[in-house]
Structure 1
Amino acid sequence: MAFRVAFLTSLLILSMSSSGNALSLNYYEKTCPDAEWIIAAAVKAAAAKDKTVPAALLRMHFHDCFIRGCDASVLLNSKGSNKAEKDGPPNVSLHAFYVIDNAKKQVEALCPGVVSCADILALAARDAVVLSGGPTWDVPKGRKDGRTSKASETVQLPAPTFNISQLQQSFSQRGLSMEDLAALSGGHTLGFAHCSSFQSRINMNNADPTINPSFAESLRNICPIHNQAKNAGANMDASSATFDNTYYKLILQGKSLFASDQALLSHPETKNLVSKFASSHQSFNEAFVKSMIKMSSINGGQEVRKDCRVVN
């Protein structure tokens, strides 16, 4: 498996290089050779104290890449009249920014002004997957950090209510295929969802016909419509701290939380992939690695920030 992932990574790097992408596997080999080790240690230390950290970092990376490319714009703080991405409606539940801050501080102490926040976030997302029992891969590096972050642009993020056409359009606009959609959606194997993200599917008077009735009833007990605690919700799957293929098995049973997850069964290509990934953990891992490298290589930044929360 390790060899296959490494070989796959090499092929992807060759294809990215041929398209003029500046990312490379050995980008910090001479300028900051210990960067990856430092970042991995920071993620591991945080995850040991808070089991929600891996899911938070993986989600943060997705949300960063889908706005202006993987440029760490999601890390910037709001300033003055400008409301930043992290304060946009889809991002208010993002957390664990301190993990990136801690990693950045340690890297800066060793190699000032060298390692971008965007690269730290991409590496941290990989480390989060590995810590959760998922596959590892070589992360292409050399991203630059962006100077712009607008909460208004977070409407571009794919919503949990999206149907397959909306999902396909969202991913294709970023150069991502239906296979990438199916594989990257598997990131939902980690984490927790608030009631608001799936409430519309379980309303008694207009329940989503694609949801398993008994599962819907169990969710209604967690998320009563007239008496909802602020942090009420459900784990994304039955093994929400472990990176596995349970997510796909639940989709086949009609037990996914999001309409966007269940929507994968409404298109022949993604339906076949859901079945494939549900039956083969290895197939899912390999597809996820390939799609993560592809997605995380979308970049449009301009600088290497000294502080991930503010532009230089």
Structure 2
Amino acid sequence: MEKKIIAIFVVLCCMLNITSAQLRVGFYSSSCPNAETIVRQVVEKRFSKDRSITAALLRMHFHDCFVRGCDASILIDSTNSTSSEKDAGPNETVRGYDLIDAAKAALEAACPSNVSCADVITLATRDAVGLAGGPKYDVPTGRRDGLVSNVQDVNLPGPSLSVPGAFSFFQAKKFTLNDMVTLLGAHTVGVAHCTFFQDRLSNFQGTGKPDRTMDRALAARLFKLCGTQSRPLNKDPTAFLDQGTSFTVDNQFYNQTIFNKGILQIDQELALDRSTATIVKNFASNRVPFGVNFANAMIKLSKVDVLVGKAGEIRKNCRVFNPPPKKTTTRRGF
């Protein structure tokens, strides 16, 4: 029985390795040689007008890959009869869909039905990171688009989790603790709505007092911004997660958590928990280790539960599944 279990495990590992191997850098070099250039040009155009697009794409990429794998299921629009991942609470403020649409339209004009929407997300995120001063890295391509997008599938780690609580989500996706700390470094860009950290400012965990692990001056400043009133997200104020280099992908986010200036609870916990504090200090003291680790972690993220080969499809429109192929009828002669 034990040998049988080991054999099954080996087979599963081999299958995972085969799936990963089907992704490769330059996958479209023959079928659509300018694919990566086309995506990059779209991202560069947007970034020149809106540097916050880096944070938007990082969030979209993470929220896509952590649900059904990197299959672009987050891009599907809901219909009158079905609610897609876009309708889930954690995805309510995800944005950047129009950039993906623009890149896909340009790709369809150059090489129809060739480049997947899943690869567009991955490439666009990689390019935005580089434009924002982060590491430049190659990502393998060859993903295919998923055929399912269900609001009930969305279960993502929240901002108020402890380190062990957050790590349970990452571990389920085969990430290490170092990977988690690295990927949360994406908070070096972007903002958080008051509702996600408001309790830390005046009534942390029902104590009636601010979270003592937050810098007092920061807590006072954020309290003036947020107050105690609950608001709909579209009217809720936001604060930069990195209060210094807010649009740059760098290691300053980690420095701020060391000085108790993490905005989200999970961000601050990274610097306080024994299991992650050393990693945070290493990234805070030297930008190079963070850059290398971030590039590697992003590549690893982009490979989560991907569809390859003949699985899934290549959508023509990233917002809707392709229509089912028409059935052909064969006439029989007499």
TM over 0.5, yes or no?
Answer: yes
Asked if the contact 1:184–1:291 (Cα under 8 Å) also holds between the matched residues in 2, the reply is yes
What SS is found at the alignment partner of 2:235? Answer: coil
Aligned residue for 2:182? 183
User: Where in structure 2 are the equivalents of 1:266-285 lying within 5 Å?
Assistant: 266-285=272-291
What SS is found at the alignment partner of 1:206? Answer: coil
Aligned residue for 2:161? 162
Cα distance, 1:18 vs structure 2: 4.5
Q: TM-score, normalised by structure 1?
A: 0.91
Aligned residue for 1:219? 222
**AA at the equivalent of 2:240:** N
RMSD between superposed Cα atoms in Å: 1.7
Asked if the contact 2:214–2:261 (Cα under 8 Å) also holds between the matched residues in 1, the reply is yes
| Distance in 2 of aligned mates of 1:99 and 1:80 | 25
**AA at the equivalent of 1:233:** T
What SS is found at the alignment partner of 1:79? Answer: coil
Is 1:233 matched up with 2:243? no
Aligned residue for 2:302? 296
What SS is found at the alignment partner of 1:193? Answer: strand
User: Where in structure 2 are the equivalents of 1:137-148 lying within 5 Å?
Assistant: 137-148=137-148
| Distance in 1 of aligned mates of 2:15 and 2:147 | 24
| Distance in 2 of aligned mates of 1:69 and 1:206 | 40
- 1:226-256 deviation per Cα after TM superposition (whole angstroms, max 9, x unaligned): 3868141201112111111110001101111
| Distance in 1 of aligned mates of 2:165 and 2:15 | 27
Cα distance, 1:69 vs structure 2: 0.6
Asked if the contact 2:46–2:53 (Cα under 8 Å) also holds between the matched residues in 1, the reply is yes
Asked if the contact 2:60–2:94 (Cα under 8 Å) also holds between the matched residues in 1, the reply is yes
What SS is found at the alignment partner of 1:26? Answer: coil
Deviates more, 1:143-152 or 1:16-25: 16-25
- 1:66-113 deviation per Cα after TM superposition (whole angstroms, max 9, x unaligned): 101111011110112321111211111111210000000001111111
Aligned residue for 1:89? 89
Asked if the contact 2:195–2:230 (Cα under 8 Å) also holds between the matched residues in 1, the reply is no
Aligned residue for 1:196? 195
**AA at the equivalent of 1:81:** S
Cα distance, 1:206 vs structure 2: 3.4
User: Which ranges of structure 2 fall in alignment gaps of 5 or more residues?
Assistant: 1-13, 323-334
Aligned residue for 2:106? 106
Aligned residue for 1:253? 259
Q: Relative to structure 1, is the Cα distance of residues 306 and 271 closer, same or farther in structure 2, using a 3 angstrom cutoff? A: same
**AA at the equivalent of 1:247:** F
Aligned residue for 1:305? 315
* Partner residue of 1:210 out of 197, 210, 213: 213
Aligned residue for 2:150? 150
Asked if the contact 2:195–2:236 (Cα under 8 Å) also holds between the matched residues in 1, the reply is no
Identical aligned residues as a percent: 40
What SS is found at the alignment partner of 1:107? Answer: helix
- 1:8-32 deviation per Cα after TM superposition (whole angstroms, max 9, x unaligned): xxxxxxx999454211112111001
Q: Relative to structure 1, is the Cα distance of residues 25 and 17 closer, same or farther in structure 2, using a 3 angstrom cutoff? A: farther
Q: TM-score, normalised by structure 2?
A: 0.85
- Corresponding residue pairs, total: 297
| Distance in 1 of aligned mates of 2:274 and 2:172 | 20
What SS is found at the alignment partner of 1:49? Answer: coil
Asked if the contact 1:178–1:270 (Cα under 8 Å) also holds between the matched residues in 2, the reply is yes
| Distance in 2 of aligned mates of 1:304 and 1:39 | 16
Cα distance, 1:143 vs structure 2: 0.7
- 1:102-157 deviation per Cα after TM superposition (whole angstroms, max 9, x unaligned): 00000111111110000000001101101101111001101111111122222x11
| Distance in 1 of aligned mates of 2:229 and 2:200 | 16
What SS is found at the alignment partner of 1:175? Answer: coil
Aligned residue for 1:126? 126
Larger Rg: 2
